Structure 1
């Protein structure tokens, strides 16, 4: 059966460099490649905190989608759009939930409660839900009352590395993630500041998603005794990132929460030992043979884990081999696309 028409509604610039946007861009491209007539709706960029005019424009755009065109709706919009407006959408709505918005870091209680209620109510209107991980599926079942048979896991694919490993000296600790409190770069900097007796260098890659946090992070690095060893690189070109991955010895992300964490797959497929936190989907994504996980928000524990890998060649090389072996088993984007395609086909696309 020929793939049918569908739509994908995404806020702002689809080329934005985050794991979520990369996932959705690859999925949109993949669905088109296998024959779906995919309408890309670029919704206002203000979600999940839109102005009134942005909310109205988004509702109008979604209402205009034909009822025979299943509509995948990005989670930043789905979890925060007005429920009454969403109820007016004629197309079958398929929610794309990377992780519930109420689980973002440093939300005030009133905001957290509002997002939880809105997303819970909106999920009752969704025909189906796509999630990137078993963890997000469990959260939606346990906390949002979504029946399990209405949720499909479409794990992100991963691209094979273009460059062979070429570790640099001193050992490079690489961290990749938007400059946002949830990513825990502040914890990483605090941890690295405790490792001045070891030889290393570190690069933090990620765009300035939260300008206030990014400025605070730059100030924290400048005040650190390790300032000369830590580079806050910001957003970098894909070729530069590929070179950094090839030159790294450790991947470190002190995240406070992840619904999946595409960057972990990118590190593992490149044979990098991972240091991260036992939170959200990270334990499901980072195998024990390939990484060390510590409690979130614990810079001392994070420093100890990095120290272990830097100081123990046998441990580091063993984890690198395990990561490389596991990386050969990770799915490609074609598999992710086919899973989403089957969901669309069941609902008219």
Structure 2
């Protein structure tokens, strides 16, 4: 059996986002399992590339030899529908869908409809589809006409960690996520304003460059609310694990998550969680480990934060539940083995 594949990805594979982190770890684990993986960059700007970038990406993919096995990250694959249908018989195409493109926050209705249609057409041409959560599998089956037998669910892996130190005299609140509309940092900041009577310091880790408009809006919000001395926007950092280890509480108000790797990371470090019941988050965060509130509800988010900050006993209990849940999460080796079994069938 030939264990050779091309892994096609848009943008910069080194970016510290959950999707790219998943790609990097799966590639490394597949190589450790004996797969030869050739990286195939598709260019910047996806899922809204320039005409030139799209043409170059299609040409690079079409240059693959007949019967090549190619895994394509969904951030690009969802708009490669014309190419995918033209090459579906010649190549063995596997789509890796972190979450459907049309479910990104802030899209205009016509753009959402266009992306939903193009991704549905692209997925029709894939031999197989890998997703990162059961929720995304259900979404693709219900709304993108992907039959369950063509879907493999491979949860992201999580590295084991020691319980976070916690117990600071001033509680440390950690949030990790790209500064984009979907991550809901504006809701977190507004909620923190309503509990400024309590002691806390907050750190938000995430790229400031992928969505400059949102970054600027968050900076202005912090300044306007007078929270510049209490909320730090660190930008992207190479290794956020020390920040998890030093935190008392994890809070992220995402409006949608296809899985939410940072929530799994928080569980692995034994951090109690405040989040929104959005996308796959309820599947990742057990009820005993965190408080989940409705999306875009500042009052509810603030109430949950206040509850855990004021009640040390509850915070410690949820921390223990988080660590227990984190210890049961799959490893990256487990995740890659699931993917490898699906690829072996195609190879």
Specify if TM > 0.5. yes
Q: Which residue of 2 aligns with 1:253?
A: 252
Q: Is the counterpart of residue 141 in structure 1 residue 171 in structure 2?
A: no
Tell me the distance in 1 between the aligned counterparts of 2:91 and 2:155.
Answer: 25
User: Are the aligned partners of 2:163 and 2:323 in contact in 1 as well (CA < 8 Å)?
Assistant: no
1:10-43 deviation digits (Å, cap 9, x = unpaired): 1122111100000001111111111111111011
Q: How many angstroms apart in 1 are the aligned matches of 2:276 and 2:25? A: 27
TM-score by length of 2: 0.97
Residue matched to 2:225: 224
Whole-Å separation in 2 of the counterparts to 1:331 and 1:164 = 20
User: Hey, what's the Cα distance between the residues in 1 that align with 2:56 and 2:161?
Assistant: 40
Q: Does the CA contact (< 8 Å) of 1:165 and 1:270 recur in 2?
A: no
TM-score by length of 1: 0.96
Structure 2: distance between partners of 1:71 and 1:35: 16
CA distance in structure 1 between the aligned counterparts of 2:94 and 2:266, rounded to whole angstroms = 30
Rounded Cα–Cα distance in structure 2 between residues aligned with 1:132 and 1:138: 11
- Verify the 8 A CA contact 1:9 1:71 in the aligned structure 2: yes
Write out aligned runs for 1:294-305 (5 A). 294-305=293-304
Q: In the alignment, which residue of structure 1 is the partner of 2:329? A: 330
- Please give the alpha-carbon distance, in whole angstroms, between the structure 1 residues aligned to 2:250 and 2:97: 26
| Aligned partner of 2:82 among 59, 81, 84 | 84
State the number of aligned residues: 344
Between stretches 162-171 and 335-344, larger displacement belongs to: 162-171
2: CA distance, partners of 1:250 / 1:166: 8
State the match for 1:114 in structure 2: 114
Structure 1 residue 235 displacement after superposition:
1.1
Q: Residues 235-250 of structure 1: matches in 2 within 5 Å?
A: 235-238=236-239, 241-250=240-249
1:162–1:242 Cα contact (<8 Å) kept: no
- CA offsets 1:37-86 (integer angstroms, 9 cap, x no match): 111101111110100110001101111122333111101111112x2222
Task: Determine the C-alpha separation between the residues in 1 that align with 2:164 and 2:231.
Answer: 24
CA distance in 2, matches of 1:17, 1:167: 28
Shift of 1:276: 0.3
1:92-131 pair list within 5 angstroms: 92-131=92-131
Aligned-residue CA RMSD in angstroms?
1.3
Shift of 1:242: 2.1
Q: Does the CA-based 8 Å contact 2:77-2:95 persist in structure 1?
A: yes
**Counterpart for residue 269 of structure 1:** 268
Residues 63 and 88, structure 1, Cα contact 8 Å, conserved in 2: no
Aligned to 2:169: 169
Contact 1:275 1:305 in 2 (8 A): yes
Structure 1, residues 237-280: CA drift from partner, whole Å, max 9, x if none? 31xx2221111111000000000000000000000001000010
Q: Which residue pairs with 2:305 in the alignment? A: 306
SS at match of 1:48: coil
Single out whichever of 61-70 and 41-50 deviates more from structure 2.
Answer: 61-70
Q: Deviations over 1:96-120 (max 9, x none)?
A: 0011000000100110000000001
Q: SS at 1:9's partner residue? A: strand
Confirm or deny that 1:18 pairs with 2:9: no
Q: 1:96, 1:130 within 8 Å by CA — same for their partners in 2?
A: yes
Runs ≥4 in structure 1, deviation > 4 angstroms? none
Unaligned stretches of 5+ residues in structure 2: none
Match of 1:152 in 2: 152
